[in-house]
Amino acid sequence: MLMLLVIHTGSSKRSDLIRQQMRAVGLHQALSPVMDVARDARWGRVHETYGEDPYLCSAMAVAFTRGLQGDDLRQGAIATGKHFLGYGLSEAGQNMAATQIGTRELYETFARPFEAAIREAGLGSIMNSYSEINGIPVGSSREILTDLLREVMGFSGFVVSDYMTIEMLQRRMGTATSPSQAGAQAPGRCSRPGSAARGAATKGAATPAVSDNIVPKEPRRSDAVRSGPCCRFALIPGGKPGR
């Protein structure tokens, strides 16, 4: 029943209804749909996906995105494809475990639904996965979130971190020794409320990070700065998406 419910939300008519309900209560972004290709039945989130077939997952992802965002984003809601990338084939089917997938399979199988939604439906947002790929946490992987996602797949929207991703770079992955350093590792990304990096910034921890050269005093105009406001501006009547 849960699988059928997830598949039903893949229709553009059903997601169009969700869009209307969201707009009615003032919500403009959905942290959905799940575009993971599930290849291990032991994984506890299989029921959230559209299944194991990348073609089916792609078709459902495109339909959901089209219905939710609509023809005019000023009357739509931003869809968020998740979890980028390879989250449906983690080691031993454990949630948040490492992902060991070859480059070709990663792109041709697991990235396929995301790319379809990007190119055919103008997907506005993507959420990263908690896992690591080839030893590198996806949340800090420029190879995955910039080189593959933006340069190869043509994504121009914004990336939101899966809840505690940036905090996990310090507390779980051990790639950072402080919240500010963890935030600096994220390649041009947006942090969701509640992350340690965001909390550190509001408490003034960003100042020593700048003085210690963890964060540049005059950072480059990142993907997050370029794409985030443009997507949100497109939601405003009279606004136009663009850079």
Q: pLDDT tens across 127-179, in order?
A: 999 999 988 999 999 999 999 999 999 999 999 988 888 888 888 888 888 88
Per-residue pLDDT at 241 exceeds 50: no
Identify the domain containing residue 211 by its residue range. Answer: 2-233
pLDDT at 204: 53
Contact 137, 169 (CB under 8 A): yes
Looking at the annotation, which residues are catalytic?
Answer: 162
CA distance 114 to 36: 9
Length, in residues, of the chain: 243
pLDDT at 2: 26
54, part of any domain: yes
Lowest mean pLDDT among 84-93, 105-114, 147-156, 207-216: 207-216
243, part of any domain: no
Tens digit of each residue's pLDDT (9 = 90 or more) over 36-67: 999 999 999 998 999 999 999 999 999 999 99
How many independent structural domains does the chain possess? 1
Per-residue pLDDT at 111 exceeds 90: yes
CA distance 39 to 36: 9
What backbone torsions phi and psi does residue 34 show, to the nearest 5 degrees?
Answer: -80, 120
242, part of any domain: no
153, part of any domain: yes
| Residue whose token pair is 């339909």 | 63
pLDDT at 4: 34
CA distance 104 to 5: 31
Tens digit of each residue's pLDDT (9 = 90 or more) over 114-124: 999 999 999 99
Tens digit of each residue's pLDDT (9 = 90 or more) over 22-33: 999 999 999 999
Per-residue pLDDT at 109 exceeds 60: yes
Half-sphere exposure of 130 (CA within 13 A, CB side): 15
DSSP state of 122: -
pLDDT at 126: 95
Q: Give the three-class secondary structure for 137.
A: strand
240, part of any domain: no
pLDDT at 8: 55
Alpha helices in 164-222 (DSSP H): 165-171, 179-185, 196-202, 206-211
- CATH number at 66 reads 3.20.20.300
pTM (two decimals): 0.81
What does the mean pLDDT of the chain come to?
80
Contact 206, 215 (CB under 8 A): yes
Determine what percent of the chain is predicted with pLDDT higher than 90: 47
What backbone torsions phi and psi does residue 164 show, to the nearest 5 degrees?
Answer: -100, 20
Q: Helix 54-69 and helix 12-24: axis angle, to 10°?
A: 40
